Amino acid sequence: MSRIGNKIISIPEGVSISIDKGEVKVKGPKGELSEVIDQDFNLEIEEGTGKLTRPTEQKRHKALHGLYRSLINNMVVGVTDGYKKELELVGVGYKATAQNNVLELSLGYSHAIFVGVPPEVKVSTETAKGKNPIVTLESIDKQLIGHIAAKIRSLRKVEPYKGKGVRFVGEHIRRKAGKAAAAK
């Protein structure tokens, strides 16, 4: 039994969903997204709600039921509210600047790192005196923004001793104790 797949998809006003041969298209105030799903699945839309039903009780259909429901719901939320991820650069001399969807990062290496960001993702940076630089990513596509954020984070993973690296804002890092002082 798929608990996530059986949940109702709330469709706000101003959002339209269409299905054509397994391709689900969602249009909203912030843009349009599409996703290909298995043609066997059926999406029933009635007065502001949608319900995804699977054709059989096969293991394959059960496995995909919750996935497709989550993908469609993420598209609906994306075209209405959008998604936002914030990354914090913790370390001495760590800097970030963004121009024309190219993010330039100084992460303690001997060279600057340039990250090309797709046009669907809006990137901005914020640097305040005495605070760590923050990189903000905004998009309507949850998968794409998560992928870009993970890629940026992988450039300098947070190390557990000093806590330096790229992390999500509000992320808790488990710290390790350093070397113990020599006992006399």
The pLDDT tens digits for 17-31 are: 998 888 999 999 999
Q: Go through 25-41 and write b for each residue having 16 or more CB atoms within 10 A of its CB, e for each that does not.
A: ebbbeeeebebebeeeb
pLDDT of residue 181: 64
Query: Which CATH superfamily does the domain covering 9-80 fall into?
Result: Ribosomal protein L6 (3.90.930.12)
Query: Which CATH superfamily does the domain covering 83-168 fall into?
Result: Ribosomal protein L6 (3.90.930.12)
Least confident of 72-76, 113-117, 169-173: 169-173
pLDDT at 48 over 90: no
The pTM score is 0.87
User: Where in the sequence of the chain do the CATH 3.90.930.12 domains occur?
Assistant: 9-80, 83-168
Mean pLDDT across 147-160: 95
pLDDT of residue 157: 93
